Structure 1
């Protein structure tokens, strides 16, 4: 009998990966920057670019900032930085953790099909596991098993708010060579956004893609009457009246404030987050990422 990770990989290979093979990898391969690479082209500077890649001779000649583009001359190394905290177990349609698993397995299989290596950092406050970069389908199966095992080991025990800052620092310590880093998380870290500096340091060395997994109910809680709400991170329970206009107003203000703070931190770190909701098809989410990357680099 095949295992659950094996069944998941087979389903994703049939439904998603065959339709995306070569598209996502090609989008990043043509613009990947690092040491030991070949010059490919020039393009106009955008506010998201690293100023270190500005070609000052061309900029002076054309009186407009231009950056140099390069083509990687070796196989890519990619990392999956996966948030397995309690808040990721919230959600409808399989939950945020289910969507994280599908996205992670899809990305791993896409990148290993071309002989590229991919590793993973599995993170929760009480569990940190690193899977070194390897290639091949068997390695993707191992990653799927490790994600499932790590999620089970974390269990449903509440604890402190997720240490997103610690997760990013651990990723930076493991990805020593310049790599393509996918951070998949809800980026919920208590009341404060304290991970901006760590994300900025990560982007100084690596190409970082932030995939923010969110459930629609986190953005817009419907009128459900009296409900018992539990904080997945701390275990605190509160009985609230979701039909109360004052409660809805306060909740909306808190959500808007959190979203604005996360967006501002991402912008200052020069990372564009890709928002993926639990009711969204993973295929469509990855296609949108490919299209965005191609538009940005064209």
Structure 2
């Protein structure tokens, strides 16, 4: 029996406003607004620390040394370890030219939003901000777009015009209903296409057919992977809105529910909380860092908190973090 829980559903009566799709010719306007309101704030708050968000990209092997406490186990050279009879790790130097890829889930479920923004808008703004920060320093960004499948690949390039092209592609793309999301296909395609070690941002609501966890872990073995999860508050907690018709954004299936029923709302919240716990555990097992972006949260605050977390972790690994702060990191 199919679960009633509307994991990909949007209320048909729509008590809140859902932002309309942004036309392609508005991409320039969106980017200018982000440059003025978001990137300027990030420059002041991070003071260059945004590179911490992109650590691990463009790395060249520089040396080998014995394993030390807090070293990244993914850098262990098992062949040398076997010969030397003690763990050895690869030491890398960072290339100034970084390469970043965005694996973008643009399936129908990301078109949901219970407020002024849809999840697609939040994804697009995040990608535009990160891509602009990178390309204005001469780095290259590329993207793979997933709708009903991997629909398009945008090769890595730099420059503001390239960012506009990427933003246009995200905002202007329409995916028809009818097939479930298979995030594993996007991740496997990324692992096959991206040859050079890069920072890979997987931007998705992670509402998908099962089986993507293994593909994500395999991608993280070669690349520095950040799971950027977009969500909407209504997916976690239903308010008392009376009778609602919920529609599955991908299959089009509809079901009528009574949100006035406190028991129903509690069951919904319990199932949603369990899914949240399972998702976070899966991301942790895959060995990736995670950033959550909500449609009702401030993008700048979310990015700053995430960069600060990664900076503390990097300091902990190098032993430069003060002892009294290590338990926090």
**TM-score, scaled relative to structure 1:** 0.86
Evaluate the alpha carbon distance shift between residue 69 and residue 216 of structure 1 in structure 2; reply closer, same or farther with a 3 A threshold.
farther
Could you tell me which runs of 5 or more consecutive residues in structure 1 were left unpaired when the two chains were aligned.
none
SS in 2 for 1:248: helix
* 2:179–2:251 CA contact under 8 A, matched in 1: yes
* 2:58–2:99 CA contact under 8 A, matched in 1: no
CA distance in 1, matches of 2:303, 2:63: 28
Specify the alignment match of 2:56 in structure 1.
Answer: 32
- 1:184-263 pair list within 5 angstroms: 184-190=203-209, 193-263=210-280
Alignment coverage as a number of residue pairs: 284
Could you tell me which runs of 5 or more consecutive residues in structure 2 were left unpaired when the two chains were aligned.
1-23, 316-329
Structural RMSD (CA): 2.8
Higher Cα Rg, which structure: 2
SS in 1 for 2:301: helix
- 1:1-298 pair list within 5 angstroms: 3-21=25-43, 23-28=48-53, 31-32=55-56, 36-38=60-62, 44-45=69-70, 49-50=73-74, 52=76, 70-91=92-113, 92-126=115-149, 128-150=151-173, 153-154=174-175, 157-190=176-209, 193-298=210-315
SS in 1 for 2:76: helix
**Shift of the alpha carbon at 1:3?**
2.9
**Shift of the alpha carbon at 1:246?**
2.8
SS in 2 for 1:36: strand
* 1:32–1:71 CA contact under 8 A, matched in 2: no
Q: Which moved more, 1:66-75 or 1:173-182?
A: 66-75
* 1:40–1:71 CA contact under 8 A, matched in 2: no
SS in 2 for 1:3: helix
SS in 1 for 2:269: helix
**Shift of the alpha carbon at 1:284?**
1.3
SS in 2 for 1:5: helix
* 1:33–1:70 CA contact under 8 A, matched in 2: no
SS in 1 for 2:201: strand
CA distance in 1, matches of 2:139, 2:163: 12
Specify the alignment match of 2:320 in structure 1.
Answer: none
**TM-score, scaled relative to structure 2:** 0.78
Evaluate the alpha carbon distance shift between residue 127 and residue 71 of structure 1 in structure 2; reply closer, same or farther with a 3 A threshold.
closer
Evaluate the alpha carbon distance shift between residue 24 and residue 120 of structure 1 in structure 2; reply closer, same or farther with a 3 A threshold.
farther
Evaluate the alpha carbon distance shift between residue 28 and residue 70 of structure 1 in structure 2; reply closer, same or farther with a 3 A threshold.
farther
**Shift of the alpha carbon at 1:89?**
0.6
Q: Deviations over 1:209-264 (max 9, x none)?
A: 11100101101111111111111121111100012133223212321232122122
CA distance in 1, matches of 2:68, 2:310: 14
**Shift of the alpha carbon at 1:51?**
5.4
* 1:45–1:67 CA contact under 8 A, matched in 2: no
Evaluate the alpha carbon distance shift between residue 176 and residue 127 of structure 1 in structure 2; reply closer, same or farther with a 3 A threshold.
closer
CA distance in 2, matches of 1:11, 1:40: 46
